[in-house]
Structure 1
Amino acid sequence: MENHIIAGMAGESSIATTGAGPEQEQMRNIGDHATMVKWQRFSVPFAYPVAFTRNLFALDNPLLFEMLAMRERDKRHRCLVYLDEGVVTAQPDLPNRVRRYFDAHARHIELVDWVVVPGGEDIKLHPGHVMAMLKAIHRLRIDRHAYVLAIGGGAVLDAVGFAAATAHRGVRHLRVPTTVLSQNDSGVGVKNAINTHGVKNFTGTFAPPWAVLNDFDFLETLPRRERVAGIAEAIKVALIRDGDFYRWLEANAQALARFDQSAEEFMVRRSAELHMHQIAYGGDPFELGSARPLDFGHWSAHKLEALTHHEVHHGEAVAIGIALDARYSALAGLLPEPEAQRIVELLDSLGLATFHPQLLATGPSGELALLAGLQEFREHLGGELTVTLLSGIGQGIEVHDIDMALMAQAIAWLSEREACHALAQ
């Protein structure tokens, strides 16, 4: 079995600094007040493997065992496993395959328990699911040298990851993403969260996983809707970071739409690589600033999901958000019009929608409800509004102001385009 791993003051003052070590001292004189400031500095290096394989739970595939034992090979490692209900429905033998794998390697790994949890946004909408996980972690004595393993889509990884990150201030968390979207984007990152106070991802943490193990076999049993929707995140990252990859997506759109194995695997790996590169080298892996460069197309996507009560799934909403922000970029003079047209045509060719009627929904004062998503997007990080748009294929650009009238025009263009397509059918 071959496994592929990608190894991220006001007033008059005078200051005197002493010491060159991590605890530098600063003496500050402000008026008649002398103040000493000690600076504590340290860094914590993060490193985790992201692997791509097939048949992860085959008894002769050592990848999972090796990842659990990679730093303490002489221990017997305890593991609590959470399974996405949707995955278990599609693969009813999965719990038995997991159990047999642990039994076959019982000298070194122990399956403490396995639990089936709801998939999709339901697990993120109801905090009781996370509280149940925390109770289980406590009851089963999962400590900081044991593991919580999540097998499922992005929502399950988010919720289980949040529980693991907060129990004991963080227990080891290993992810097994099972959807295109979670394998090529969210599952390889450092964030987890649940939805509270009516806000998507309001409650969460930054907590890098112990390892990410992508098993392409899980993609084979996905509904077509979910399998196609995950491609939107690959288009997103290609548009802002890699023009060559975007042109590859265009050239291979038909192969991707029919789920050609070779094309799908390359798309997932390359998208994951680009997301990982941004986290490691983008300069702000925990989003301490005001920018969210990997969230191109997402300000409207998050709002659209809420407006449709999650009838529109995340990848589908991202596709619509990409179309909207590409059109706005062209209207604002940032992106050549032919390139904006190329983007919506690629989305069309994959069967991804570029419009939903809720884009035209209005609020109490007659304003477009979607546009409130811009303020919510800003509030999630704080600071000034920072939205990633496009200046070219493969070239993202950050702006700090959105012309609401121009954005309304972009929405109207998508609506008119949708109406023309409907008449043509």
Structure 2
Amino acid sequence: MFKTIEQKFEVSYRYGLYFTENLFGTTNTLFRDIIKEYKNEPVKLLFVIDDGVALAHPQLVKSIETYCQNYQENLVHMKSMVVQGGEACKNDQGQVEDILKAVSEYAICRHSFVVVIGGGAVIDMTGYAAAIAHRGVKLIRIPTTVLSQDDSAVGVKNSVNAFGKKNFIGTFAPPYAIINDTDFLKTLEQRDWIAGISEALKVALIKDAVFFEYLEKNAHLLRDRNMEAMQYTIYRCAEMHMHHIAQGGDPFESGSSRPLDFGHWAAHKLEYMTNYALRHGEAVAKGIVLDVAYAHLIGLINEADLNRIVRVFQNIGFDLSFPLASAKEVDELLNGIEEFREHLGGVLTITLISDIGVKHDVHEIDREVMKKALDVVNEISKLKVE
């Protein structure tokens, strides 16, 4: 018999998160410089733009064309295609097909770039399309919402929804670069402005009490659209997410523990149950507070910390109530616990906290206690915000 042939190799990944304003202003060379660093010759570019962003920034497509023309020695603008924004784009396989068709039609190869400009859903969907085209076309992400700038666009995951399950189909494929442009935040609706702060509170609650205190102290400034407070919140949140991915020892999530999904088992299920009427960040806020209430009921944290956490979310402007009309809907929500385990694989691992800034994993959830936690959250949500 032949001996088993065994092979082992490692692949190193590197990508940067850049911060700027007016990215496609012709005097801003950042985008050109990123492409030039890759290859100092003309490089083909396919731009995919969220329709909400295109509507809010009607000169964007023209600005991109002008910018590429200005730096034509490095940038070859092939096409700017506008796609449906929001979670609906992840429910429509036709959106992925449209991008793949454009990759084929414009001969976007593995030495070209897909450049996606939009919120987290469009970035997820486009990243998935880029990852499966030619087994991986280079991707530059330009996130335009708070949530995508501080969380979803800075990681290594891409996905679409299927079979009524969020992110059921996807890939691990790091981007070539991420560029956060502050100008895109200025046109956000209020609910989109605050929604992404839930991810900052998430990472603070499981990792950094000092950052939580910053968010607590600046809750009203964040609610009132103070750009300086928001810029620091995005920077620190993104920094902590990227550090976790690199230093956590499990960037492609082979294990069962995913601390950055604190509060997400309920959030993912609630998004589906509301037909995605809830923004992801809004659902995450509810999911985090639910799990914090559960942690209190099982003795992990005290009532004072529960109230303190709730107060921060409410001062920022989150509605924490759960829109569940019947016991059947409560049971449907709780079924999200097993769906979450299935998505992770392995044993059930739900991240809670045992103190502000300290994560605590549990491997079972008492459904009756979780129902009580739901009641607690719904009662708290009725209280007047200080």
TM-score band, normalised by shorter chain: over 0.9
Give matches, 1:157-168, under 5 Å. 157-168=123-134
Change over 3 Å in CA distance of 1:133–1:361 after alignment to 2 = farther
Partner of residue 337, structure 2: 374
Residue in structure 2 matched with residue 68 of structure 1 by the alignment: 35
TM-score scaled by structure 2?
0.97
Give the structure with higher Rg (CA): 1
Q: Which residue of 2 aligns with 1:86?
A: 52
CA separation of 1:327 and 1:367: change in aligned 2, threshold 3 A:
closer
| 1:400 is aligned to 2:367 | no
Residues 305 and 314 in structure 1, CA contact (< 8 A), matched pair in contact too: yes
Contact 2:259/2:351 (8 A) holds in 1: yes
Q: Please give the residue correspondences for 1:236-385 in structure 2 after superposition, counting only pairs within 5 Å.
A: 236-358=202-324, 361-363=326-328, 368-385=331-348
Contact 1:297-1:319 within 8 A present in 2 as well? yes
The RMSD of aligned alpha carbons is: 1.5
- Identity over aligned residues, as a percent? 46
In 1, distance between residues paired with 2:58 and 2:165? 33
In 2: Cα distance, 1:270 partner to 1:419 partner: 31
- Given that 1:99 and 1:111 are in contact with CA atoms closer than 8 Å, whether structure 2 keeps it comes out as yes
Which residue of 66, 74, 78 corresponds with 1:108? 74
1:104-130 CA-partner distances (Å, limit 9, x unpaired): 101111100110000001110111110
Q: Is the 8 A contact 1:177 1:187 kept in 2?
A: yes
- Residues in 2 aligned to 1:273 and 1:367: alpha-carbon distance in whole angstroms: 36
Higher share in strand: 1
Distance 1:389 1:361 in 2: 26
Other-structure match for 1:24: none
Code of the aligned partner of 1:239 = L
Indicate the SS of the match to 1:36: coil
Unaligned runs of 5+ in 1: 1-33
**What residue number does 1:224 align with?**
190
Matching of residues 193-232 of structure 1 within 5 Å:
193-232=159-198
1:50-107 Cα deviation digits (max 9, x unpaired)? 011111111111111111121222x211000011000011111111111111011011
C-alpha deviation, 1:367, in angstroms: 5.8
Asked if structure 2 preserves the Cα contact closer than 8 Å seen for 1:102 and 1:111, the reply is yes
Report how far residue 419 of structure 1 moved: 4.1
Residues 243-286 of structure 1, C-alpha deviations (whole Å, 9 max, x = no match): 10000001111111111111110000000000001100011000
Amino acid at match of 1:43: E
CA distance in 2, matches of 1:61, 1:192: 29
SS of 2:260's equivalent in the other structure is helix
Per-residue deviation at 1:38? 3.0
Match of 2:7 in 1: 40
Partners of 2:78 and 2:106 within 8 A in 1: yes
Q: Is the 8 A contact 2:330 2:371 kept in 1?
A: no
Tell me, yes or no, if the aligned pair for 1:361 and 1:370 is still in contact at 8 Å: no
Q: Does the residue aligned with 2:286 lie in a helix, a strand or coil?
A: helix
- Residues 1:156 and 1:147: Cα distance change in structure 2 (over 3 Å): same
Distance 2:252 2:2 in 1: 31
CA distance in 2, matches of 1:375, 1:351: 30
In structure 2, the partner of 1:28 is none
Distance of 2:369 and 2:164 partners within structure 1: 28
Q: Which has the higher helix share?
A: 2
**Cα distance in 2 for residues equivalent to 1:417 and 1:255:** 23
SS at match of 2:76: strand
Q: Which amino acid aligns with 1:362?
A: A
> 1-side partners of 2:330 and 2:321: how far apart?
18
Task: Identify which of 73, 93, 113 aligns with 1:147.
Answer: 113
The alignment partner of 2:327 has SS state of: coil
Q: For the residues of structure 1 that align with 2:339 and 2:219, how far apart are their CA atoms?
A: 33
Three-state SS of the structure 1 residue aligned to 2:170 is strand
SS in 2 for 1:98: helix
- The one-letter amino acid paired with 1:70 is E
Whole-angstrom distance in 2 between the partners of 1:219 and 1:298 = 24
Task: Verify the 8 A CA contact 1:83 1:115 in the aligned structure 2.
Answer: yes
Secondary structure of 2:360's aligned partner: strand
Say if 1:146 and 1:171, in contact at 8 Å, map to a contact too.
Answer: yes
For each residue in 1:340-370, what CA deviation from the matched residue of structure 2 results, as whole angstroms up to 9, or x when unmatched?
Answer: 1111110010110111222x5433xx86211
